[in-house]
Amino acid sequence: MTQARGQGTGPAGDERDRAATVRVFIALAPPDEAKDELEAVLRPAYDAYPRMRWNRIEDWHITLAFLGELPVGTVPPLRPPLADLAASHGPVELALRGGGHFDERVLWSGIDGDVDGLHRLATDVRRVVKECGIPFEDRPLRPHLTLARARRDDRSSVVDVAAGLAGFTGRPWRTQRLHLVASDFGRGPGPIRYRDIEAWAFGGR
* Phi-psi domain of 102 (left: phi exceeds 0; alpha: psi -120 through 50; beta: other): beta
Residue 101 among the catalytic residues: no
Query: How, if at all, do strands 62-71 and 53-54 pair?
Result: unpaired
Contact predicate 161/55, CB 8 Å: no
Contact predicate 119/141, CB 8 Å: yes
Q: Which of 61, 89, 101, 179 is catalytic?
A: 61
Residue 89 among the catalytic residues: no
Q: Which of 89, 101, 144, 179 is catalytic?
A: 144
Q: Which parts of 114-183 are beta strand (E)?
A: 144-149, 173-174, 177-183
User: How far is 195 from 129, CA to CA, in rounded Å?
Assistant: 19
Which residues are catalytically annotated?
61, 144
